[in-house]
């Protein structure tokens, strides 16, 4: 009887544990494929990940293989990928932002896909292809770009006496004109609304470079061997951007290390304008709805117009369990049809010139995307080189730390530029082999 | 009348039975020892080794002697993080323990709805610290936060919880205390059950006021509990991470950067400088051990 009871207990225990497996078993976010199975890891909005799932299903059905797609939060992706690469369990294909990709490519972690991507390379602007190219070899597909433009509320600007808003690139506000507009908006907004905010929080500190580039400056020297921003252009850019805080144009909570993003303030009606990426257009449509009118115009210009290279690439792991299948998946995702599906649904800008020249049928905000497309066209080759060095991801953190010392900590422009330059130069020694 | 003969206890060593018992003991200990070795001691030794290397995430490390420690000495951010951690610890440990004691004394009495109050105070402990940190962010957000919203409704101006360094630190301290005080309270309540009521009664018969009874009789009897709570809070404060990471990201500037957040940023942030991150971690470990030893010694002396 006892023995029988023990057996029943053991069986119950085993079945209970087995039942729990579905709840407690940790599905590894990174694992390598093999045979006719390929693994892929992405981050992104619900819309983006839904399109990835659809594209992977298409590929799996066409080839008769299995694609295991894992979705992770953006904040966790790099830690997981690092661990996966070090332990040999990285996914075969993964999504990565351009600044982080430099490190993986430079340290030999990625699969060389130069030959399979020949067709794509013919159709993508060299400046954008350079973002995935190291030492003349291509290591991924630049799947899309996104960039910033100035989203604004026409009703608030009208009330503040701002008559005309630039509707042609050549009419973009100069910095001085932008400052005058900000003054008016600050004075009319009272305590409830600030003039504007800039989207340089979290990993977005590199968006400060828009102002540096517009002033005619650059982060690195042309050979990427040292910092180049401690000059007149750097001083002008930093003086102007620190004046955002000194003049009370932007909320104090929108500095480079703020733990929150300013788009929530815009949708809450607390900002008159916002430098915002095009990837926010669907969120604006959903959260603002008909509550107030909003439109988009060009970023202010100085010596030149400038915009940042945002966006993401798709890459394959060098030690992939099935490198052929992984590169085939990349080619599939880079195809004109797949890129069109992805960009139209996610409201992102394609990197293929053949698509960029067409009117894509974006699910929302199609009327806003022309400005963004024009902003992307202002990105120059050297701008791309500045933000895709192997060490740029850590430079990005240094920018966030040092700029905040200037914006909120009261440190002088010269001291801040010197501090950034020292860190950029110190890490530049690790940039050998960067650039296309 | 003769005294009963007492059988001598069996020898503890040198017999087959004791060897068998030792084997069983080791077998029982083995899983825990294995886990401790693999997940605690191994990484600890590894961290010490990496502190003496120039090591990034990919590629092998190279021995760099004391270079990382030399960099640490000249690193303003490290010293700022150390100062912030010391200030944070100096505030959260005594205030957290005292608040816990006060609440325990309050809840130990026949208070109406005592169970409900105890649950409310203890609740932050049983939910994820990440969640309490997110609640803190919701409360103290400078623009759309609840605290500033209430202040605005009362006709008061907004408070710079996120853009003023001192206030940012205050918001982190408040959320930390909120999430910790329940633990201190529960431990103190348990300890109060062990206080001999006759001793308290004797003090009252001798004419001691309630305050004198608490201050001179009850609190000294709680000393072992206080020692435990001070020690555990000390370690928690030196290891503070999630509340800072979520609420302030170490800012504004470096106003709320702590040693652990700095080590994390260096080791696991975009820099992926494992060597330097490990160095900060090693220094944190040494400081925590030193403080613990000092506290143990102090407690031992006072008990003697």
* pLDDT score for A125: 86
Residue B162 lies in a domain: yes
Q: Are strands A295-297 and A148-152 parallel, antiparallel or unpaired?
A: antiparallel
Please tell me which of the candidates A79, A252, A394 has its beta carbon nearest to residue B163: A252
Residues of chain B with pLDDT under 70: 1-16, 110, 303-304
Which pLDDT band holds residue A422 (cuts at 50, 70, 90)?
very high
CA atoms within 13 A on the CB side of B283: 24
**Alpha-carbon distance A79 to B265, whole Å?**
12
Number of separate helices (H) and strands (E) present in chain A = 19, 12
In the predicted structure, residue A81 carries a pLDDT above the cut 50: yes
A433/B contact by beta carbon, under 8 A: no
Q: What is the DSSP pairing of strand A137-138 with strand A194-197?
A: unpaired
Sorted by sequence, the CB contacts under 8 Å of residue A121 that are 6+ apart come out as A129, A138
Range of the domain at B164: 76-303
Mutant choice from B75, B134, B143, B267 vs A, greatest count of A C-beta within 10 A: B143
Instruction: Give 3-state DSSP helix, strand, coil % of chain B, rounded to 5.
Output: 70, 0, 25
Confirm if B82 and B253 have CB atoms less than 8 A apart: no
φ/ψ (deg, to 5) at B66: -100, 15
pLDDT of residue B62: 87
Quote the Cα angle for B225-B226-B229, to 5°: 85
Minimum distance, in Å, between the CA of residue B284 and any CA atom of chain A: 22
- Name the residue with tokens 């005592």: B114
Model pLDDT for residues B55-80, shown as the tens digit of each residue: 888 877 889 889 999 999 999 899 99
Q: Note whether B47 contacts A: Cβ–Cβ < 8 A.
A: no
**Chain A residue closest in CA terms to B243:** A259
| Partner-chain contact B252 A408, CB within 8 Å | yes
| Best residue of A104, A257, A270, A405 to probe chain B, by most B CBs closer than 10 Å | A257
B23 vs A433 pLDDT, higher one: B23
Per-residue pLDDT tens over the stretch A221-274:
999 999 999 999 999 999 999 999 999 999 988 999 888 889 989 999 999 999
Taking CB atoms and an 8 Å limit, are A394 and B272 in contact across chains?
yes
Whether cis (ω within 30° of 0) applies to the bond prior to B252 is yes
HSE value, Cβ hemisphere, 13 Å, CA-based, for A174: 4
Hey, is the C-beta of B249 within 8 angstroms of any chain A C-beta? yes
- pLDDT for residue B217: 93
Residues 127-146 of B with CB under 8 A from A: 137, 141-144
Q: Is residue B140 part of a domain?
A: yes
Chain-centre distance of CA A311, in angstroms?
A: 4
Nearest to B78 by CA among B288, B304, B282, B303: B282
Q: Does A396 touch chain B (CB under 8 A)?
A: yes
To the nearest whole Å, the CA of A304 is away from the closest chain B CA by: 30
pLDDT of A391 > 70? The answer is yes
Evaluate if residue A294 carries a pLDDT over 60: yes
- The tokens describing B269, both together, are 């942030």
A chain contacts of residue B253, beta-carbon cutoff 8 Å: 257, 401, 404-405, 408-409
Q: Per residue in A219-243, is it b (16+ CB within 10 Å) or e — as a string? A: bbeeebeebbbbbebbbbbbebbbb
Q: Which CATH number is correct for A37-146+310-376, 3.90.1150.10, 3.40.190.10, 3.40.640.10, 3.50.50.60?
A: 3.40.190.10
CB distance B177 to B103 below 8 Å: no
Q: Which residues of B touch A269 (CB under 8 A)?
A: none
Partners of residue A203 in chain B, C-beta under 8 Å: 270
DSSP character string of B36-47: HIIIIIHHHHHH
Other C-beta atoms closer than 10 Å to the C-beta of A364 total 16
Report the distance separating Cα B100 and Cα B232, nearest Å: 13
Name the token pair of B98. Answer: 């005292």
**What is the Cα–Cα distance from A46 to A27, expressed in whole angstroms?**
20
Query: Which residues of B are less than 8 Å from A268 in CB distance?
Result: 143-144
The angle that helices B223-238 and B165-193 make with each other, rounded to 10 degrees, is 150
Task: Round to whole Å and give the CA distance between A140 and A131.
Answer: 9
Dihedral over Cα of A200, A206, A212, A216: its sign: negative
> In whole angstroms, what is the distance from residue A376 CA to residue B175 CA?
43
Q: What is the DSSP letter of A134?
A: E
Interchain CB distance below 8 Å, B162 and A397: no
The conformational region for residue B134 under phi > 0 = left, psi -120 to 50 = alpha, else beta, is alpha
User: Which is it for the CA torsion A73, A44, B138, B91, positive or negative?
Assistant: positive
Q: What is the mean pLDDT of residues A391-397?
A: 87
Separation of alpha carbons B10 and B29, rounded Å:
24
Cβ B270–A394 below 8 Å, yes or no? yes
Q: Please report whether residue B56 resides in a domain.
A: no
Cα separation, B277 vs B287, in Å, equals 16
In terms of Cα–Cα distance, which of B40, B57, B94, B87 is closest to B259? B87
Does B29 fall in a domain?
no
Cβ contact, residue pair B270, A251, below 8 Å:
no
State the greatest distance between any 2 C-alpha atoms of chain B, in Å, as a whole number: 91
Q: How confident is the model at residue B8, as a pLDDT? A: 59
pLDDT at A407 over 60: yes
The total number of structural domains in chain B stands at 1
Tell whether pTM > 0.80.
Answer: no
Instruction: Report the residue from B162, B254, B270 with minimal CB separation from A253.
Output: B162
Q: Residue A433: what pLDDT? A: 46
- Between residues A274 and A100, which one has the greater pLDDT? A274
Which chain A residue has its CA at the smallest distance from B138's CA? A260
Looking up tokens 């225990």 gives A13
Give yes or no for a contact between A221 and A431, defined as CB atoms under 8 angstroms apart: no
Residue B51, domain member (yes or no): no
- Collect all residues of chain A within an 8 Å Cβ-Cβ radius of residue B248: 259
Structure tokens belonging to residue A358? 């067409």
- The pLDDT value given to residue B11: 54
A188 at the B interface (CB within 8 A)?
no
Residue B156 lies in a domain: yes
Decide: residue B61, CB within 10 A, 0-12 exposed, 13-18 middle, 19+ buried: middle
Distances (CA, A) of A427 to A102, A220, A386, A392, A419: 13, 11, 13, 9, 13
Residues of chain B positioned with their CB less than 8 A from the CB of A202? 249
Please state, in angstroms and rounded to a whole number, the distance separating the CA atoms of residues B37 and A174.
63
Q: Mean pLDDT in chain A?
A: 88
In a domain, B259, yes or no: yes
Render the burial of A87-117: b for 16+ CB within 10 Å, e for the rest: eebbbbbbbbbbbbbbbbbbbebbbbbeebb
Of the candidates B143, B248, B269, the beta carbon closest to that of A251 is on B143
Chain A residues closer than 8 Å to B57 by CB: 82, 86, 103, 107
**Looking at beta carbons, which residues of chain B come within 8 Å of A265?**
143-144
d(CA A129, CA A134): 10
CATH code of the domain covering residue B82: 1.10.3720.10
Q: Measuring CA to CA, which residue among A100, A80, A99 is closest to residue A90?
A: A80
Assess if residue B174 is contained within a domain.
Answer: yes
| Token pair of A207 as six digits | 């968006």
- The pLDDT tens digits for A256-268 are 988 888 998 999 9
Contact A405, A411 (CB under 8 A): yes
Measured CA to CA, the distance from residue A76 to residue A92 in angstroms comes to 17
For A75, phi and psi rounded to 5 degrees? -60, -25
Tell me the three state secondary structure of residue B54: strand
**CB-nearest partner of A259 from B248, B253, B265:** B248
Between residues 165 and 224 of chain B, which touch chain A (CB distance below 8 Å)? none
The pLDDT value recorded for residue A136 is: 86
For residue B206, give both structure tokens: 């001798």
Domains in chain A: boundaries: 37-146+310-376, 148-308+388-431
Superfamily assignment of A148-308+388-431 in CATH? Answer: Periplasmic binding protein-like II (3.40.190.10)
**Strand segments (E) across A214-360:** 271-277, 295-297, 310-316, 349-350
Whether the CB-CB separation of A186 and A195 falls below 8 Å is answered with: yes
CA separation for the pair A225, A37 (Å, rounded): 42
- For the cut 80, the answer to whether the pLDDT of residue A110 exceeds it is yes
Cβ under 8 Å to A: B residues 54-113: 57-59, 77
pLDDT digits (tens, 9 = 90+) for A159-205: 999 989 999 999 999 999 999 999 999 999 887 899 999 999 978 99
| Paired residues of A148 in beta bridges | A277
pLDDT attached to residue A12: 36
A319 CA to chain B: closest CA distance, Å?
14
Using a CB–CB cutoff of 8 Å, tell me whether A85 touches chain B.
yes
Separation CA A152–CA A197 (nearest Å): 11
pLDDT band at A66 (very low <50, low <70, confident <90, very high): very high
Confidence of residue A20 (pLDDT cuts 50, 70, 90): very low
Cβ-Cβ contacts under 8 Å, B145 against chain A? none
User: What pLDDT score does A435 carry?
Assistant: 42
d(CA A307, CA A207): 8
Q: Does A393 touch chain B (CB under 8 A)?
A: yes
Q: Do B141 and A409 touch (CB under 8 A)?
A: no
The token pair that represents A152 in the structure block: 């604004």
The structure tokens listed for B237 are 């404060």
Give the CA radius of gyration of chain A.
24
Contact A351, A66 (CB under 8 A): no
**CB-based contact B162 A252, cutoff 8 Å:** yes
């Amino acid at each position: 009887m006892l023995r029988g009871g023990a057996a029943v207990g053991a069986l119950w225990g085993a079945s209970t544990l087995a039942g729990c497996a579905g709840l407690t078993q940790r599905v590894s976010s990174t694992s390598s494929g093999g045979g006719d199975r390929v693994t892929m890891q992405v981050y992104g909005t619900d819309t983006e990940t839904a399109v990835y799932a659809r594209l992977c299903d298409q590929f799996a059905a066409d080839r008769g293989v299995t694609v295991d797609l894992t979705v992770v939060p953006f904040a966790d992706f790099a830690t997981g990928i690092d661990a996966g690469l070090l332990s040999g369990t990285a996914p075969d294909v993964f999504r990565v932002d351009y600044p982080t990709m430099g490190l993986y490519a430079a340290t030999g972690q990625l699969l060389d896909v130069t030959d399979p991507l020949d067709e794509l390379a013919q159709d993508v602007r060299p400046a954008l292809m350079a973002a995935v190219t190291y030492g003349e070899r291509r290591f991924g597909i630049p799947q899309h770009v996104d960039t910033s433009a100035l989203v604004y509320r026409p009703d608030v600007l009208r009330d503040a006496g701002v008559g005309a808003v630039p509707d042609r690139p050549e009419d973009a506000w100069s910095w001085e004109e932008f400052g005058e507009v900000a003054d008016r908006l600050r004075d009319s907004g009272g305590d409830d609304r600030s003039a504007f905010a800039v989207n340089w929080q979290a990993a977005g500190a590199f968006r400060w470079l828009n102002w540096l580039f517009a002033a005619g400056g650059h982060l690195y020297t042309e050979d990427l061997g040292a910092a180049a921003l401690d000059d007149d252009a750097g001083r002008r850019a930093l003086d102007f951007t620190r004046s955002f805080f000194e003049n009370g144009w932007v909320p104090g909570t929108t500095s480079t290390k703020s733990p929150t993003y300013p788009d929530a303030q815009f949708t809450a009606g607390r900002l008159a304008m916002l430098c915002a990426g095009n990837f926010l257009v669907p969120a604006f449509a959903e959260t603002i709805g008909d509550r107030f009118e909003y439109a988009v115009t060009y970023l202010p210009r100085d010596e030149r117009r400038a915009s940042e290279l945002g966006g993401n690439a798709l890459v394959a792991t060098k030690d992939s369990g099935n490198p052929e299948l992984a590169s085939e998946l990349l080619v599939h995702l880079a195809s004109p049809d797949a890129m069109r599906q992805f960009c139209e649904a996610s409201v992102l800008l394609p990197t293929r010139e053949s698509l960029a020249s067409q009117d894509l049928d974006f699910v929302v905000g199609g009327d806003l995307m022309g400005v963004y497309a024009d902003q992307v066209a202002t990105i120059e080759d050297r701008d791309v080189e500045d933000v895709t060095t192997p060490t740029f991801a850590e430079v990005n953190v240094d920018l966030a730390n040092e700029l905040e010392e200037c914006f909120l900590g009261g440190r002088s422009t010269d001291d801040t530029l010197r501090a950034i330059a020292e860190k950029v130069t110190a890490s530049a020694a690790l940039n050998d082999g960067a650039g296309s | 009348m003769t005294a009963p003969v007492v059988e001598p206890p069996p020898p503890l060593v040198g017999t087959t039975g004791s060897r068998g018992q030792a084997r069983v003991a080791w077998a029982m200990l083995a899983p825990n020892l294995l886990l401790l070795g693999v997940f605690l001691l191994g990484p600890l030794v590894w961290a010490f080794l990496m502190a003496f290397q120039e090591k990034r995430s990919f590629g092998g490390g190279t021995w760099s002697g004391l270079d990382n420690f030399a960099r640490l000495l000249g690193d303003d951010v490290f010293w700022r993080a150390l100062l912030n951690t010391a200030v944070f610890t100096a505030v959260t440990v005594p205030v957290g323990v005292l608040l816990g004691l006060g609440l325990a004394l309050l809840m130990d009495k026949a208070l109406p709805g005592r169970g409900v109050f105890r649950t409310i105070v203890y609740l932050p402990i049983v939910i994820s610290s990440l969640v309490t940190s997110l609640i803190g962010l919701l409360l103290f957000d400078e623009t759309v936060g609840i605290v500033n919203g209430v202040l605005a409704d009362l006709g008061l101006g907004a408070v710079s919880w996120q853009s003023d360094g001192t206030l940012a630190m205050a918001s982190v301290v408040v959320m930390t205390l909120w999430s910790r005080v329940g633990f201190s309270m529960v431990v103190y309540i348990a300890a109060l059950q062990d206080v001999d009521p006759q001793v308290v009664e004797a003090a009252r018969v001798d004419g001691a006021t309630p305050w004198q009874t608490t201050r001179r009789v009850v609190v000294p009897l709680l000393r072992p509990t206080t020692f435990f709570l001070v020690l555990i809070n000390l370690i928690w404060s030196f290891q503070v991470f999630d509340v800072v990471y979520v609420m302030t990201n170490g800012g504004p500037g470096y106003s709320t950067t702590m040693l652990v957040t700095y080590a994390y940023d260096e080791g696991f942030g975009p820099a992926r400088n494992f060597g330097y991150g490990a160095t900060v971690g090693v220094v944190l470990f040494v400081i925590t051990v030193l403080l613990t030893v000092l506290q143990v010694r102090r407690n031992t002396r006072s008990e003697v």
